Amino acid sequence: MEFKFCPQCGERLVPKLCGDDGNVPFCERCSRPFFPFSYPCVLCLCITEDGSEIALIKQSYVSEHYVCVAGYIKQGETPESAAVREVMEEIGLETVSCRYVKSYYYEKRDNLMLGYVCKVKKGRLVTSCEVDSAEWFPVKKGQELLRNSSIAQLLLKDYLGGME
């Protein structure tokens, strides 16, 4: 996201040289630069503690394919607590452990996706109104259901690759 107006006072921003970054949108009233950035999100691979099954969801407003739990990181929140919160909100599961895997850039939505693996106790999936359905799948089946080259599929691949 690139700012054209100051998000604090609404003044039109002007380009200003900021060292190595070159010209950066700057608010002369607040006397501060507003660097362009991509919204940070968490992508959560929800897997049973024994690593045998993953929980995938369907969200018609996002994709017709199965996807992983994901969401924006709230102001003041760490990615880890966002991951735990999203897993609870979207599928109603408690995260036993949460570990960072890798980050991905999602150009279509200008999102910086931080990939986490969330070990969860297998239980009944209770979905939020944001989620159409959620289901458990054996890992291999899940891999096939995720859209080819999607970030969710990459996260699963990177997670499994790191286990070898």
* Site of interaction with Zn ion (CB under 5 A): 6, 8-9, 11, 27, 29-30
**C-beta closer to Zn ion: residue 34 or 136:** 34
User: 95 near 83, Cβ under 8 Å?
Assistant: yes
Q: Minimal distance in Å, beta carbon 32 to Zn ion? A: 7
Beta carbon nearer to Zn ion, 8 or 63: 8
91 contacts 57 by C-beta, under 8 angstroms? yes
- At its nearest, how many Å lie between Zn ion and the CB of residue 110? 22
Query: What residues pair up with 99 in beta bridges, in sequence order?
Result: 117
CB closer to Zn ion out of 33 and 79: 33
Beta carbon of residue 21, minimum distance to Zn ion (angstroms, whole number): 19
Q: Where are the alpha helices (DSSP H) in 4-138?
A: 79-91
Provide the token pair at 108: 């279509």
